[in-house]
């Protein structure tokens, strides 16, 4: 491990908190040290209060901030004298501790201080850094971990046995640190938890952390347990329907829809094929901080019945304590391991699932490195229970509120690069869905940068491209719950006698045949949707009221409408509902070029402006108007509706 300190970068961070922000970000950059909100940092500063008196303040990383991106407002200012008085108390509940820390901050609106604030406050140094370094966890969770730590560091670190984070841990550290510390002490190791370093300036504390973790890496490397080699056996491909079925099983176990992301790179497949995977993976997480996101008892293989039984037994063993504590913890599984595809990571959102996958990526390193020096040993189940059913975790759940309507669900939107399709993607994202946008325009891939969006360049008339897109979609999110069929073309206006046959064929191929092929390919996935499959067809006013010069377009939309009606008849038994929207005069779409708009206006003997508001309400219909209704039709409001045809046209006298 090497220091990332750069004098020029450091100089850019101004103000009293500048050095603290800079080295916090350096730690956050290295995922082998800090993952997804883990770890924390602090600095002790003296400031003047309103009356000109000096106050000693501990600025500690606030809840909800990530070290990699933290800024000065992400540090919570807490009165240091009060922190140290709290540390001297004989007992304090964690909820009361949180309240006391929050009420002794010097800035209203600051984030809640870290749960380890008292621990930072008692350490006798200006700067304190804390990480969950992979290398240190590997050493502390191997047999003889205490002795190994002492062998590596001698008296340069204080060693504290495992205690759950919170007041009790701070109290133990307050007692142990003065007993063990020497003039050589530069850090502290919390067994099965992580490592602290400290110093009188930000660089010293940071580089001590790098040096301490580097020594643990060297220790493992000398025992040929640092550089991992992964070997896998080819076991054949896994069908996307199998992944969707696995997701359905996890959703049923959780009692709610979940996103499932597949990680099938060699590392995950090698771990799933490891001869001791059943033993190693079932013990628990790399650190108790990960227990909620990387549940014990991950599924190994696709024996879902055996997994469900083991999972039920796990929670039944804790039922009495859970009832006593009046818990409301989500018991949802978070992962499955399979020799063929590697890891399936589950979460209520795509971001949560991605976090699970990244945490387990590092957990595998910790597990296998510990195995290389004697064997991985997780904390006892009772300790994991303490964290999982912790008062503070319960408080988070109670505070969380109702999830978005489409949380844990997946939608495919075709023609999503612009117009109605783009608006649909935004409407579904707003409601919590993970979105796969398909479009033949290359910009679809960079339309949005967020974990719950996957843009795929795809010509829907190319069956092979559609198959490849669905493979990527299912691997990314686990299945398909909803389908918005929006892609289409509007050929140039021609009377029937002048329609070129190639124009007719192309219009039918895009507007009908491509949709049919996608529906067929998605049908097995929609059948497995936890809340039932839903399809919305973006039709056209031309279905009930065709216009002159639009023979090919009108016929293709009418054919698609009839296909949707038949699908409602046939797929109702599969709990799939399909409804159509018939927009008209939506001009902020790629179909309506200036030329097409002028041509259609001319066909009705209207000006372009008259044509834009040529409806009963004299209003203009936007892509967002259509998209919002498309999303609503997939929601609970239309849960008992199928085969509906709803106009979104401002009122058209020919339709009325």
Which tens digit of pLDDT belongs to each residue from 470-516? 999 999 999 999 999 999 999 988 999 999 999 999 999 999 999 99
CA distance 151 to 157: 11
CA distance 311 to 90: 38
Structure tokens at 403: 């999830």
CA distance 49 to 55: 7
Beta bridge mates, 536: 484, 579
Neighbouring C-alpha atoms within 13 Å toward the C-beta of 165: 26
| Cα–Cα nearest to 518, from 571, 465, 576, 573 | 465
Counting residues of the chain whose pLDDT is more than 70, the rounded percentage is 90
pLDDT of residue 593: 81
Answer whether 391's CB lies under 8 Å from 97's CB.
no
**pLDDT at residue 325 is higher than 60:** no
Answer whether 44's CB lies under 8 Å from 67's CB.
no
CA distance 68 to 486: 39
**pLDDT at residue 264 is higher than 60:** yes
pLDDT of residue 37: 67
- Residue with the larger pLDDT of the pair 376 and 568: 568
Residue 380's pLDDT band (cuts 50, 70, 90): confident
The DSSP code sequence of 114-138 is PTTHHHHHHSSSSEEEEE--HHHHH
pLDDT of residue 296: 45
pLDDT of residue 157: 97
CA distance 210 to 627: 51
Counting residues of the chain whose pLDDT is more than 90, the rounded percentage is 72
Answer whether 585's CB lies under 8 Å from 614's CB.
yes
Answer whether 389's CB lies under 8 Å from 374's CB.
no
Residue 335's pLDDT band (cuts 50, 70, 90): confident
Task: Please work out, in degrees rounded to the nearest 5, the angle formed at the alpha carbon of residue 365 by the alpha carbons of 364 and 366.
Answer: 90
Answer whether 424's CB lies under 8 Å from 413's CB.
yes
User: How does 385-411 read in b/e, with b if 16+ C-beta sit within 10 Å?
Assistant: bbbbbbeebbeeeeeeeeeebbbbbbb
**pLDDT at residue 635 is higher than 90:** yes
Compute the average pLDDT of residues 67-84. 96
**pLDDT at residue 209 is higher than 70:** yes
| Cα–Cα nearest to 259, from 450, 421, 444, 406 | 406
Rg (CA), the chain: 30
The interaxial angle of helices 551-571 and 501-508, nearest 10 deg, is 30
Average pLDDT, the chain: 90
Compute the average pLDDT of residues 51-77. 95
Compute the average pLDDT of residues 639-651. 97
The interaxial angle of helices 202-222 and 145-153, nearest 10 deg, is 120
CA distance 577 to 583: 20
User: How many CB atoms lie under 10 A from the CB of residue 201?
Assistant: 14
410-414/482-485 β-pairing: parallel
Task: Please work out, in degrees rounded to the nearest 5, the angle formed at the alpha carbon of residue 619 by the alpha carbons of 614 and 621.
Answer: 95
Q: Which of 135-139, 163-167, 340-344 has the highest mean pLDDT?
A: 135-139
**pLDDT at residue 294 is higher than 70:** no
pLDDT of residue 388: 55
Compute the average pLDDT of residues 269-294. 80
CA distance 34 to 72: 19
- The secondary structure of residue 167, as a DSSP letter, is H
553: left (phi over 0), alpha (psi -120 to 50) or beta: alpha
CA distance 234 to 253: 30
* Tens-place pLDDT, residues 85-114: 999 999 999 889 999 999 999 999 999 999
Looking up tokens 């892509």, which residue turns up? 623
| Cα–Cα nearest to 392, from 38, 60, 93, 156 | 93
- Which structural domains are found in the chain, ordered by start? 7-222 (3.40.225.10), 241-395 (no CATH), 410-648 (3.40.50.720)
Compute the average pLDDT of residues 279-298. 69
Please list the helix, strand and coil fractions of the chain in percent, rounded to the nearest 5, in that order.
45, 15, 40
Compute the average pLDDT of residues 463-472. 97
Structure tokens at 599: 């041509």
Residue 450's pLDDT band (cuts 50, 70, 90): very high
CA distance 521 to 458: 15
**pLDDT at residue 336 is higher than 70:** yes
pLDDT of residue 338: 87
User: How many CB atoms lie under 10 A from the CB of residue 627?
Assistant: 29
Answer whether 577's CB lies under 8 Å from 532's CB.
yes
pLDDT of residue 566: 98
């Amino acid at each position: 491990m090497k220091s990332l300190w750069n004098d020029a970068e450091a100089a850019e961070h101004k103000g009293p908190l500048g050095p603290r922000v800079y080295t916090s970000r350096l730690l956050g950059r290295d995922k082998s040290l800090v993952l997804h909100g883990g770890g924390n940092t602090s600095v002790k500063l003296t400031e003047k209060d309103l009356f000109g008196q000096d106050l000693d303040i501990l600025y500690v990383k606030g809840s909800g901030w990530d070290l990699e991106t933290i800024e000065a407002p992400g540090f919570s200012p807490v009165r240091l004298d009060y922190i140290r008085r709290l540390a001297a108390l004989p007992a304090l509940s964690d909820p009361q501790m949180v309240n006391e820390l929050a009420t002794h901050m010097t800035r209203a609106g600051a984030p809640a201080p870290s749960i380890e604030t008292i621990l930072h406050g008692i350490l006798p140094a200006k700067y304190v850094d804390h990480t969950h370094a992979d290398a240190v966890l590997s050493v502390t969770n191997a047999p003889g971990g205490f002795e190994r730590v002492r062998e590596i560091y001698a008296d340069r670190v204080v060693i504290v046995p495992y205690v759950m984070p919170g007041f009790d841990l701070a109290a133990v550290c307050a007692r142990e640190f003065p007993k063990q510390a020497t003039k050589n002490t530069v850090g502290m190791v919390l067994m099965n938890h992580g490592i602290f370093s400290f110093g009188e300036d930000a660089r010293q504390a940071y580089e001590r952390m790098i040096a301490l973790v580097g020594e643990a890496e060297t220790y493992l490397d000398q025992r040929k347990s640092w550089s991992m080699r992964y070997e896998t056996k080819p076991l054949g491909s896994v069908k996307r329907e199998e992944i969707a079925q696995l997701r359905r099983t996890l959703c049923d176990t959780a009692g709610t829809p979940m996103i499932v992301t597949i990680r099938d790179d060699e590392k995950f497949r090698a771990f799933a094929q490891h001869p001791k995977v059943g033993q190693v993976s079932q013990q628990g997480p790399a650190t108790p901080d990960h227990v909620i996101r990387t549940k014990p008892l991950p599924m190994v293989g696709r024996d879902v019945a055996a997994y469900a039984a083991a999972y039920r037994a796990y929670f039944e063993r804790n039922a009495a304590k859970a009832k006593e504590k009046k818990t409301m913890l989500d018991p949802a599984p978070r992962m499955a391991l399979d020799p063929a595809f590697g890891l399936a990571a589950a979460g209520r959102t795509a971001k949560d699932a991605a976090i699970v996958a990244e945490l387990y990526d590092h957990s595998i390193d910790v597990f296998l490195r510990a195995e290389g020096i004697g064997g991985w040993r997780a904390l006892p189940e009772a300790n994991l229970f303490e964290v999982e059913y912790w008062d503070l975790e319960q408080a988070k759940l109670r505070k969380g509120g109702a999830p978005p309507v489409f949380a844990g669900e997946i939608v495919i939107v075709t023609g999503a690069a612009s117009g109605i399709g783009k608006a649909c993607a935004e409407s579904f994202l707003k409601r919590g869905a993970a979105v796969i946008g398909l479009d033949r325009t290359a910009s679809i891939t960079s339309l949005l940068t967020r974990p719950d969006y996957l843009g795929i360049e795809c010509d829907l008339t190319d069956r092979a491209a559609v198959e490849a897109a669905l493979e990527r979609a299912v691997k990314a999110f686990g299945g398909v719950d909803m389908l918005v069929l929006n892609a289409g073309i509007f050929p140039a206006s021609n009377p029937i006698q002048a329609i070129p046959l190639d124009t007719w064929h192309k219009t039918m191929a895009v507007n009908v045949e491509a949709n049919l092929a996608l529906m067929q390919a998605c049908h097995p996935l929609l059948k497995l949707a936890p809340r039932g499959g839903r399809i919305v067809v973006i039709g056209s006013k031309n279905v009930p009221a065709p216009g002159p010069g639009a023979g090919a377009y009108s016929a293709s939309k009418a054919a698609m409408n009839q296909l949707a009606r038949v699908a409602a008849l046939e797929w109702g038994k599969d709990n799939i509902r399909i409804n159509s929207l018939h927009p008209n005069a939506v001009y902020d779409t790629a179909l309506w070029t200036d030329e097409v708009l002028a041509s259609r206006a001319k066909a009705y003997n209207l000006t372009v402006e008259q044509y834009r508001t040529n409806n009963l309400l004299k209003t203009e219909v936007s892509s967002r108007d259509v998209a919002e209704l498309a999303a609503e039709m997939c929601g609970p409001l239309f849960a008992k509706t199928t085969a509906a045809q709803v106009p979104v046209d401002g009122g058209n006298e020919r339709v009325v």
